[in-house]
Amino acid sequence: MEKMHPTLTLHGLRSTFRDWRGDVDESDDELAELSLNHAGGDRTRRAYRRGRALERRRALMERWAIFCETELKSNVTVLTGRAAQTRD
């Protein structure tokens, strides 16, 4: 990623995914956390949550890919220069 887009960071991409999921997509928060490989819930909940929701995550990632590949809309602000470097 660094070679393709040196001003972007992996953390920024993951953060953008969470914002998109919360603002645009209607999937649940647990699915987003699983997609980011975050351990969600308390210790007991994690002990009983053994499934990985692969098919649901696949559908979510397909929607995310479509969003990422879609031409920027007028309500999206693209940061450049110093603003982009300090944004993350």
Nearest to 18 by CA among 38, 2, 4, 1: 38
In a domain, 80, yes or no: yes
Q: What's the pTM? A: 0.60
Residues 17-36 have pLDDT tens digits of 888 888 888 888 888 888 88
Mean pLDDT of the chain: 75
Number of domains forming the structure of the chain: 1
In a domain, 22, yes or no: yes
In a domain, 72, yes or no: yes
> What pLDDT score does 68 carry?
85
In a domain, 38, yes or no: yes
In a domain, 3, yes or no: no
Of residues 39 and 28, the one with the higher pLDDT is 28
In a domain, 4, yes or no: no
Span 5-27, average pLDDT: 83
In a domain, 43, yes or no: yes
In a domain, 69, yes or no: yes
29: left (phi over 0), alpha (psi -120 to 50) or beta: alpha
> What pLDDT score does 62 carry?
93
Residue range of the domain that includes 48:
10-87
